[in-house]
Every structure is written in C-alpha cells, then in structure tokens.
Amino acid sequence: MKPNFDLTGRLALVTGSSRGLGWAMAQALAASGARLLLHGRDHAALAARAATLAERGTPAAEILYFDVADGPAVQDAFAEITEAHGRLDILVGNAGGIIRKPVLEFSDADWHQVLETDLSSCFRCAREALRLMIPQGHGRIILTSSIMGDRARPTIPAYVAAKAGLHGLVRALAVEVATAGVTVNAIAPGYFPTDATGPVQDDPVLNQWVIDATPMHRWGDPAELGGAVVFLASDAASFVTGSVLTVDGGASAAL
C-alpha cells in the first residue's frame, strides 16, 4: 500500500506556477512524486522552474502557456492535455490577480478583470478538468482562495468579491461531483510575500499591521502551503470535499 501522501504517478496541473504561491505548491507536489504541468505566460521563468525540478530529480515537468481568462485558450489547453495524457489527476487553480484602488476609482474594466482572473478562470479550468476526472472516476481540484474570501480590507472590492464567490463555487462543484470520486476544495492563504502583497510589505505601517494581526507575528513562508496542497491532493483527504483550508498563522481567528 502506498503511503497516504504519496502522489507518485499522478499528473498535476498548477496554474500560475512560475512564481509565488503557485511555484511553492508545485514544488511540494513534485516532491511528493507528482508529475507536473507547469503553467503561466512567462516562458523564461517557466523554463527555469522546469530546469530546477529536473536538477532535483523529480518527475519531468511539462509547460503549458495560456491565458486563464481566455475561454477558448483554456479549452485548447485541456484538449492538449487530453491528447497527450488522456487524464488529469490534480488541478491546482492558482492563477489570479489583484487591483488596489479606492472604490470610487474602481472602473467596470477593473472589476471585470479581477473577476475573470480570480473567479471565472477557476470555473473554466475546473469544468474542463472535470471532463477528464469524472470519466476516470477520480480527481482532486484545489482552488487558491484567500482569507479575504470571508473578510475584507479597503481598496480591494473585486478581489474580496471574487474570493467569496470562489468559496461558493467550491461548495457547488463539490456537492455535484461527490459521487464521481472527485473532491473539490480550496486553500485560503493569509499574508504571504508575493508580487500581489508587495505594496503591503513595502509600506512600513501596513507591514507592521500584518505582523501584529497575525498571532504568529510574522508573514507566512510560501513553502508552508506545501503541506496543505499535498494533503488535499492525496488519498489522506479522500473524504474531504467542499472545504476551505485556511493557512494563515491564526490571522483569521484573531481578526
């Protein structure tokens, strides 16, 4: 019997995996034996990531380039996966973005951009993944949310709305495919150093607020998401679906 957390032989697509939290989660899956489909739009960065994994002796990673906000491009990418592999075991829907503006400066275009990248793209990728996972009788869908899915901060109205919607999407998909052997869950990170949180880190007042608001009194390390994603992707989480796993150093408990 394979250990519960062994992902050897499983094929995992991690969207937005060239940097930040996506790259951290991709590394954790690879270290547990999964074969990766890395994704993004930065060709040089993704090639470097694939080379790093090869140097570590993990299963060879492939690279997919497509815009998650482009419906036909998403369908084409999954058609490519189907043709090349005929299956997909794990989807980590991580690609996303954030726009920070006061609400009175927030345009319709800003609103739609964030909703497309942070919510609609997850629906599209999950739907296409399910076309493979339901017939094969197993699969793991893990969507990257945020503690802002249940809370809020000023100047990020679309981001908060998208992440709250993502929690609803996880529940809706989970109950619909529960008998198909597919689980659907989300990970809600707290404050981690990424490109998106750069403005917060660079502001001494906001940076200190994050540290003070987090009971562990520090920012998270992206590598600390590894255990959460491997758990949800593994056999150990076979009876876990429709859930949001919070990884935030206690911030949401204290806020």
- Cβ-count burial of 87 within 10 angstroms (0-12 exposed, 13-18 middle, 19+ buried)? middle
The DSSP secondary structure of 111-155, one letter per residue, reads HHHHHIIIIIHHHHHHHHHHHHHHHHT-EEEEEE--GGGTS--TT
Looking at 159, 191, 192, 231, which residue is catalytic? 159
> Does 191 participate in catalysis according to the annotation?
no
The SS3 call for residue 12 is: strand
The dihedral built from the CA positions of residue 131, 46, 188 and 123, taken in this order, carries a sign that is: negative
CA 53 to CA 151: how far, in whole Å? Answer: 36
Element (H, E) at 63: strand 62-65
Active site residues per annotation: 159
